[in-house]
Amino acid sequence: MSRLLVKCACLSILLMASGCPKKTAKNNLSADRIAAAKLAVDTLQATKFEEAQKIAKQVLAKDPGNSQARVVHAICIYKKFMHNFIQDMQTNLMAMFRAQTINHRYLKWSFEQLDKDLAAVEEDLTVAAGDEKFFFKLCLACWHRDWNHDGRIDERDEFLFQIELDADGNRIPQGDPRRKPTFRFDQGDLHWAWAMISFQRVAVNLMLAYQVPEMSALRFANDNTVITIKMVDKARVLKARTLLLAGLEQADLARKSYLAETDDEGEWVPNPTQQNHPLPLPVDSALYETWRGVVTDIQKLIKGEEGISVVEVAQLGDHKWENPPQGFIDISGLLTEPGDIILNIGNLDRLDSKRTKQDVETVLKDIFGDKYVAKLKPTKLLWRLQRMKGEMERGEESLERKLRYLFWLN
């Protein structure tokens, strides 16, 4: 995976704070509000996150509806709690390898705190959602900070958010202003970022719904071992389903908003007619149609209207089956009536050697239980993946580029 894809990931983490749910009331940005938030915005651009947060809070104490101040505040607290969460995970991992056991209470607390923190950001962004005239300009590559916390600001920190390659894959020279673009975020980007927040919360809630097995069960596993990943909180799975549907709705609203745009300035995600987009990922109508199709496909899977065909999944790989495994995975059932996940090590090991139809079907029954069903309407999502695979095999587009688009468009 290229450094550009990594950069997109890093950018998204910080840009999530531009997201918001549906509009609730008109609360438009005015010249006075822009002026009031200017110091907070400028301080954020100067990489002074703690100070920018304080200034934004002062603005919001007088005017809670100032959308730019809300977004500054959201970005600052997001950056702060993500740093805390990463530290928690590092502590968890070190303790796990030292003691050869998992501190489930600490792990649970860390993820619960992350979900609360994401909800706190959402509270800020709910207000920003009401501003139909919202815009926000930011040069992320201009930030000057020790991002990897090694005690110094080196080239890795300086280049983290810079755009290093152009649309043709050629390296952009150092000092070229294209390396440090200023993005202008607006309503379409609000929906895009809200989808990212939702998908993050989906992952967090699924982590809280299941309990990771003890390390001893993994260390001493043999062909007779059966590992059970216990489902301990069904409500978290149901919450994840709700958040997933909300995120997909926001992703589709982003697509529609981008297509409706008529401006062309520092676009984060351009539509097919826009040319001013600093990230070297041009789009066309076909990409937007694929975007629409993928969102619709996943929505149907979650609602139970369609399922994943095991036959089609099997044929996606390099091995072509003469007698492929049958059946369907009921994604909707996994999210509405979740249960324990069973891993039979002996059955899994046989997949590496023989990989017969019967072995695959046995493993699917172990893992998915009664959510591995005989009949469902097949999703078109796998057909789209098969088409993409064909394009890569014919040299029409690389896997790297596919991954960029997949991440970039949520």
pLDDT in tens, 45-90: 999 999 999 999 999 999 999 999 999 999 999 999 988 898 888 8
**What is the rounded distance in angstroms from the CA atom of residue 55 to the CA atom of residue 84?**
22
Give pLDDT, residue 405: 62
CA-CA distances (angstroms) from residue 333 to 11, 202, 246, 367, 371? 34, 16, 18, 13, 6
Beta bridge partners of 344: 226
125 and 257 in a common domain: yes
Quick one: 318 and 188 in the same domain? no
In a shared domain, residues 37 and 150: yes
- Residue 187's nearest CA partner among 273, 290, 67 is 67
| 39 and 145 assigned to the same domain | yes
Name the pLDDT band for 245 (thresholds 50, 70, 90).
very high
Domain boundary residue, one of 248, 283, 318: 283
**pLDDT at residue 343 in the model:** 84
Range(s) of the domain holding residue 118: 3-207+233-283
Boundary (domain end) residue, out of 283, 298, 323: 283
Q: Are residues 279 and 313 in the same domain?
A: no
Q: Would 225 be classed as within a structural domain?
A: no
> 271 with 323, same domain?
no
The answer on 397 and 268 residing in a single domain is no
Whole-prediction pTM = 0.84
Q: Determine, yes or no, domain membership for 13.
A: yes
Gap between the Cα atoms of 253 and 259, Å rounded: 10
pLDDT tens for residues 251-303?
998 899 899 999 999 998 899 999 998 888 778 898 899 899 999 999 999 99
Same domain, 375 and 266: no
Query: Quick one: CA torsion of 269, 5, 384, 15, rounded to 10 degrees?
Result: -40
Encoding tokens for residue 183? Answer: 């993005």
Confidence at 2, pLDDT banded by 50, 70, 90: very low
**Structural domain tally of the chain?**
2
Burial class (CB in 10 A: 0-12, 13-18, 19+), 75: buried
CA distance 147 to 153: 8
Looking at the structure, tell me whether residues 336 and 264 fall in a common domain. no
Mean pLDDT of 162-179: 86
Residue carrying the six token digits 């000057």: 144
102 pLDDT band (50/70/90 cuts)? confident
> Which residues, 6+ apart, have CB-to-CB distance to 180 below 8 Å?
139, 141, 142, 162, 163
Q: Interhelix angle for 345-353 vs 357-368, to 10°?
A: 150
| 236/98: higher pLDDT | 236
225, 248, 283: which is the final residue of a domain?
283
Same domain, 192 and 67: yes
Confidence at residue 399, expressed as pLDDT on a 0 to 100 scale: 52
Q: Which of 330, 333, 325 is nearest to 307 (CA)?
A: 330
Shared domain check, 349 and 255: no
Q: For residue 226, is it within any domain?
A: no
**Cα→Cα distances 327→258, 297, 363, Å:** 38, 18, 12
The whole-number pLDDT of residue 316 equals: 78
- Distance in angstroms (rounded) separating the CA atoms of residues 182 and 268: 10
Amino acid 402: pLDDT = 56
Q: What is the pLDDT of residue 406?
A: 61
Indicate the range of 58-67, 132-141, 342-351 predicted with least confidence: 342-351
pLDDT of 372-386, one tens digit each?
Answer: 999 999 999 988 877
Does residue 339 lie in a domain region? yes
Contact call for residues 185 and 18 (beta carbons, < 8 A): yes
**Residues 46, 163: one domain?**
yes
Q: Is residue 222 part of a domain?
A: no
Name the nearest CA neighbour of 17 among 80, 76, 84, 87.
76
